[in-house]
Amino acid sequence: MSGVFVVFEGGDGAGKSTQVRLLAGWLAEQGIAHRVTREPGDTWLGGHLRHLLLDPASGPISPRAEALVYAADKAQHVDEVVVPALSAGEVVVCDRYVDSTLAYQGAGRRMDLAELEHIARWATRDLRPDLTVVLDVDPDLAVHTKAEPDRLEAAGQEFHRNVRRLFLELAERDPERYLVLPGRDPREQLAATVRERVRELVERNA
């Protein structure tokens, strides 16, 4: 596949959407064809699944069911959005991917990581990002401003500490394919660091 696949990961409120927007703005300025997307939710099916997953009114969802619904979103997303864009040579900028399953369902819900990874890799045809940017924020210092947190945001501090730990562990295992940045650094500074890594990938890919 000829495009470049860039994923942003991190805890809730880490600033991913801002960085996705800034990177997309730079790609547009450079005239680089790109596609901004996210999981869960960026397909018709995914939109419905996102609603079911995050709406507090869904009530308790069994952790295995939750993992499978996230996997279904990924399967549809990879087939409908990510693979076609990469095949067209575009830079795909994706807000969350497989690592979110490992962090939230694995470390957060305490499910077996190897089993979850198997399911998520099957769902995504084992398509791996060229670069994963982890925006790291201590959940104990995160500012909680939302009056109505969604199902995952409401999961508690211990859950979110485990999520953070797993993102950092995944990044440590494969430094070539990860960039870990302190999410509280000034956003323009973060964006500049991300741009440099993406520029290298795009040039190498040309």
Q: Which is nearer to ligand TMP, 55 or 196 (CB)?
A: 55
Q: Which is nearer to ligand TMP, 32 or 69 (CB)?
A: 69
Helix (H) or strand (E) segment spanning residue 100: helix 98-100
Distance CA 41, CA 50 (A): 5
CB of 206 to ligand TMP, least distance (A): 30
Contacts of 154 (CB under 8 A, 6+ apart): 56
Report which DSSP code applies to 180: E
Contacts of 38 (CB under 8 A, 6+ apart): 20, 94, 95, 96
Contact 125, 97 (CB under 8 A): no
CB of 46 to ligand TMP, least distance (A): 10
Distance CA 51, CA 58 (A): 9
How buried is residue 117: exposed, middle or buried, by Cβ count under 10 Å (0-12/13-18/19+)? middle
For ligand TMP, the binding residues (CB under 6 A) are 12, 38-40, 54, 70, 96, 100-101, 104-105, 152-153
Q: Which is nearer to ligand TMP, 34 or 50 (CB)?
A: 50
Q: Which is nearer to ligand TMP, 89 or 150 (CB)?
A: 150
Tokens of 122: 């099957």
> Bridge partners of 132?
7, 178
Q: Which is nearer to ligand TMP, 12 or 130 (CB)?
A: 12
CB of 204 to ligand TMP, least distance (A): 27
CB of 77 to ligand TMP, least distance (A): 9
Q: Which is nearer to ligand TMP, 132 or 202 (CB)?
A: 132
Strand 91-95 relative to strand 131-136: parallel, antiparallel, unpaired? unpaired
CB of 149 to ligand TMP, least distance (A): 9
CB of 34 to ligand TMP, least distance (A): 19
